[in-house]
Amino acid sequence: MSVLPSFLDLGTTTPCAGQHAVFFPPVVAKEGDEERRAREARALALCRRCPVAADCLAWAVASDCGSGVWGGSTEEQRAAARPRSRRARTA
């Protein structure tokens, strides 16, 4: 995983500060689809009021950030967008 850019300032001032369990799936327990959707909805709501959301999303896409909610996007959404962005770079 890439080193986090300084603008993210995670753990201090962004809305995701101290919200690791909301932004990332549990490590030990298996998360069901309904639980995942509810957790992601809470994370996305926090991202919507984040002042660095656009930069965060750009960084997550550029870094191929696989897990968790970043910049108002879910892991699934970024994975779906990945082939399109790769095609655009090679065109």
Residues forming contacts to ligand SF4 in the complex (CB under 6 A) are 8, 14-16, 46-47, 50, 52-53, 56, 70-72
Q: Looking at beta carbons only, is 63 or 90 nearer to ligand SF4?
A: 63
Residues 15 and 42: beta-carbon distance below 8 Å = no
Which of 3, 5, 85, 19 is CA-nearest to residue 52?
Answer: 5
Least Å from the CB of residue 86 to ligand SF4 = 23
Q: Looking at beta carbons only, is 54 or 80 nearer to ligand SF4?
A: 54
Least Å from the CB of residue 90 to ligand SF4 = 28
Query: For residue 61, what is the enclosing H or E element?
Result: helix 53-62
The residue written with tokens 């909301």 in the block is 22
